[in-house]
Amino acid sequence: MSSLGLVISISVPVLLFLLVALFISKQHQKTVSQRAQIRVLKEFIAELAEALEFLVKVDNQTEIQSLVFERIKQLNQRYIASLPKNERGGANAVDIAELEHKLNEGGDKKRILKSDREIRYAKKQFSKIIKSFGPMIKNRSASEATILEFRRYLRISILEMEVDSFSAQGDVAAQRGDVTTASGYYKAARKLLIEFNMQYPEKNQRVKALADKTASLFKGGKPQGSNSLADELSKEKTNEKDQHGFPSDPTQDNKQTF
């Protein structure tokens, strides 16, 4: 055998081996990438479902809840379709039936948030809901006008919850005679309203009411009109968790459950 024939006889099998190895490597990378995308999608669906469960607990706008639930079902179908065929049977990113049951059952509506942690958690969940609206316009699940209306409603709702929380904490401080703390909470609540970049009928009324509360503190009186919120903030302080699953202990850093 000539030298050229020897080289060819050796190099061809090596080249074939390298090509097969390269193909296998690319297939493995593709599989790993697909698995990563599936995992990200599943985590996103779970987070959106958590946000929906929270929304059901604190708000009674069923149209928004139903729209978000439909979005979760769409994403869940995409998740199932992205799985290998032998893994699709009975697969779900979240328990759709349980989520639908919670949606239909509803729950007690939480009037105020009792700590900064609850406020941060609520704003995070509302933000997830609002961000989920974008694709709904593109896939025609809802009109642009409807989505704009829902976004406005949710932004005002979370603002009102935060304002109620600060106002109630101010009322509690005022009831124990702590004028400085009370006025600080009222000022924070007014600041939220004033800096909010949307107008709605109750906004100016609430700003004025908070200003009146602050003025009454320095006149030796007590603020009027929100005792029920203050009472709600003050009750059940000794429980490990309140009825909505929020830890009463501010040192806890666990995921909220509902």
Q: What is the dihedral of CA 141, 146, 152, 158, to 10 degrees?
A: -50
What is the number of H-type helices and E-type strands within the chain?
9, 0
Give per-residue pLDDT as tens, 46-60. Answer: 999 999 999 998 888
Sign (positive or negative) of CA dihedral 81, 82, 85, 87:
negative
What is the arithmetic mean of pLDDT over 124-153?
Answer: 91
pLDDT at 145 over 80: yes
Give per-residue pLDDT as tens, 181-218. Answer: 999 999 999 999 999 999 988 899 999 999 999 998 88
Provide the whole-model pTM: 0.72
Give per-residue pLDDT as tens, 9-31. Answer: 677 676 777 777 777 777 666 66
Average pLDDT, the chain: 81
Cβ atoms of 110 and 244 within 8 Å: the answer is yes
What is the arithmetic mean of pLDDT over 162-184?
Answer: 91
